[in-house]
């Protein structure tokens, strides 16, 4: 059941991205130039950047549709869940992999329960690029001046 509005989705996902970026410092596993600190920071930055380009009214952008954005969030969440084993830093202790697994599952859950509409039954507006391309393609042809 999809009950979460796109605005709430954006707030939750931005806080998830920020938390993931700060998790090496919060859980005291910061080691310079180590994948256990670099991967969460990069994933958190990707989450924040994807929220800034998603179609939501909180930020005011309409670059990527909400449907596509939630699918991207599911992929990033799955990647966040498997990255400690993919990059082989899960042996550093549960404080390195547990935040990523929890955050990845929260990101997937956030994407699964988010509506792609703002009001019940009313679809959100298409992206700016899609609407301008559609109006260009549907515009009446101008008459060509003959010599």
Tens of pLDDT, residue by residue over 62-93, are 677 888 888 999 999 999 999 888 888 777 77
CA–CA separation, 20 and 14 (whole Å): 10
Q: How many CB atoms lie within 10 A of CB 141?
A: 5
For residue 43, the model assigns a pLDDT of 92
Cα–Cα dist 113/110, whole Å: 6
Q: pLDDT digits over 106-144, tens only? A: 999 988 998 876 555 545 454 444 454 455 455 555 555
* 114: in domain: yes
Asked if residue 104 has pLDDT above 80, the reply is yes
Contacts of 69 (CB under 8 A, 6+ apart): 50, 53, 54, 55
User: What range defines the domain where residue 36 resides?
Assistant: 6-138
pTM beyond 0.75: no
For residue 90, being part of any structural domain is answered with yes
- How crowded is residue 140: how many other Cβ atoms within 10 Å of its Cβ? 5
Question: What pLDDT is recorded for position 84?
Answer: 86
Q: What share of the chain has pLDDT > 90, as a percent?
A: 16
Mean pLDDT of the 16-25 span: 88
Tell me whether residue 144 is in a domain: no
- Across the chain, which distance is largest between two alpha carbons, in Å? 80
> Cα-flanking dihedrals φ and ψ of residue 5, to 5°?
-75, 160
Does residue 1 fall inside a structural domain?
A: no
- 143 assigned to some structural domain: no
In a domain, 127, yes or no: yes
Number of structural domains, the chain?
1
Mean pLDDT across the chain: 77
Percent of the chain at pLDDT exceeding 70: 70
Q: Would 146 be classed as within a structural domain?
A: no
Query: Does residue 78 belong to any structural domain of this protein?
Result: yes
């Amino acid at each position: 059941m999809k009950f979460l509005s796109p605005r709430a989705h954006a707030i939750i996902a931005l806080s998830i991205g920020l938390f993931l970026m700060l998790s090496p410092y919060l859980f005291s596993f910061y080691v310079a130039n180590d994948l256990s600190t670099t991967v969460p920071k990069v994933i958190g930055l990707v989450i924040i950047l994807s929220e800034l380009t998603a179609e939501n009214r909180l930020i005011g952008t309409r670059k990527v549709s909400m449907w596509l954005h939630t699918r991207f969030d599911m992929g990033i969440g799955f990647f966040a869940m498997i990255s400690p084993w993919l990059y082989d830093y899960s042996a550093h202790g549960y404080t390195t992999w547990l935040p990523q697994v929890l955050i990845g599952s929260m990101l997937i859950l956030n994407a699964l329960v988010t509506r792609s509409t703002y009001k019940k039954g009313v679809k959100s507006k298409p992206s700016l690029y899609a609407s301008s391309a559609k109006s260009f393609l549907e515009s009446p042809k101008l008459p060509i001046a003959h010599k």
